[in-house]
Amino acid sequence: MKPVRKAVFPVAGLGTRFLPATKSVPKEMLPLVDRPLIQYAVDEARAAGIEEFIFVTSPGKSALENYFGALPALERTLEEKGKDDILSALRGSKLPEASYSFVRQDEARGLGHAVSLARRLVGDEPFAVILPDDVIRARQPALAQMVTAFEQSRGHMVATEAVPTEKLSSYGVVDIKSQTGRVQSLKGLVEKPSPARAPSRSGIVGRYILEASIFDWLSSLAPGSGGEIQLTDAIAADLGRTGVNGFAFEGERFDCGSVQGFVQATVAFALDRPDLGAELQNFVTARTAPLQKAA
């Protein structure tokens, strides 16, 4: 059984909810405290043992493509000035030269289409898919949790979490046959159902581990919800042959594809920081005290 060594990062979206900021800066490069969103996704992948990083981009993402390279002149300047902490953080953002690659998605045709473009680079190995919009705060990184479970179960695996009923129509939703610990044996998946038709309250979020068989389905699927090639539809189609498990990860997810989620994540991660947390807590307490009195 081959290990999970490769990860695909679909980063071709326009980030329209963050305009005008994303007019010139890719959404994945927006800083969450002092690291861009994409760095959180890559760090999570590295913690799970990922060695090869495949980014599915679109025109206008050159800043993202440049981010993971070295900056020797800047590194020398920081070294000469003795700014070791900043230098260490800068070097931590680099990826080994031969470990990452970019694939261009010229037309927005859905998540499934974006993943299908990585077929040649993935080959016949199981691989992870990480959506950088979903930032997960956890003691053990979410993808590392999934890799451990995947090694015991194999088949496709999707990350799941409980979703409020009124939001189910925005998610792929799993139909659970049985659950052992955090692993859910699935009998079906439904893309964006109405609350009345949803088979459970467990929605799929932006972490997947997929067998290479998914590419056969992605190449033959007709467009689904929204006229796009849906990754959930391909996984559901392969359920009978390959098997699919859900994984109810331990951690707190922030939807950083929305402004509200991004702001909440910024506060949560800043409060975790020893150099920022106490002062920020005092600031938030002072700002919210009048609101609590008024209530």
What is the domain-level CATH number for residue 174?
3.90.550.10
* Mean per-residue pLDDT, 6-23: 91
* Mean per-residue pLDDT, 185-191: 89
Q: What percent of the chain has pLDDT over 90?
A: 60
Tell me what pLDDT residue 294 has.
66
Tell me what pLDDT residue 145 has.
97
| Average pLDDT across the chain, whole number | 90
295 lies in some domain:
no
Residue range(s) defining the domain that contains residue 175: 6-257
288 lies in some domain:
no
Tell me what pLDDT residue 38 has.
95
Quote the tokens at residue 150.
């995947």
Q: How far apart are the C-alpha atoms of 219 and 87, rounded to whole Å? A: 44
Interacting residues of 268 by C-beta distance below 8 A, sequence separation 6+? 137, 252, 254
* Mean per-residue pLDDT, 95-103: 89
267 lies in some domain:
no
Tell me what pLDDT residue 107 has.
81
Burial class (CB in 10 A: 0-12, 13-18, 19+), 145: buried
281 lies in some domain:
no
Instruction: Say which residue the tokens 């539809």 belong to.
Output: 233
Quote the DSSP letter at residue 209.
E
Q: Could you tell me where the DSSP H helices lie in the chain?
A: 37-47, 62-67, 72-80, 84-92, 111-116, 119-122, 142-153, 214-220, 231-237, 239-242, 259-272, 277-294
291 lies in some domain:
no
Tell me what pLDDT residue 295 has.
62
Report the 10 Å Cβ neighbour count for 153.
16
* Mean per-residue pLDDT, 32-45: 95
CA quadruple 186, 131, 209, 93: dihedral positive or negative?
A: negative
Number of domains in the chain: 1
CA quadruple 55, 132, 156, 151: dihedral positive or negative?
A: positive
At 87, the pLDDT band (50, 70, 90 cuts) reads confident
Least confident window among 69-73, 142-146, 193-197, 285-289: 69-73
| Bridge partners, 204 (sequence order) | 160
* Mean per-residue pLDDT, 250-260: 95
93 lies in some domain:
yes
Q: What percent of the chain has pLDDT over 70?
A: 97
Evaluate whether 47 touches 141 at the Cβ level (below 8 Å): yes
- More confident site: 87 or 162: 162
Give the model confidence (pLDDT) of 100-129 as tens digits: 999 998 887 889 999 999 999 999 999 999
17 lies in some domain:
yes
277 lies in some domain:
no
Tell me what pLDDT residue 8 has.
97
Least confident window among 39-43, 95-99, 212-216, 244-248: 95-99
pLDDT value at 191 more than 90: no
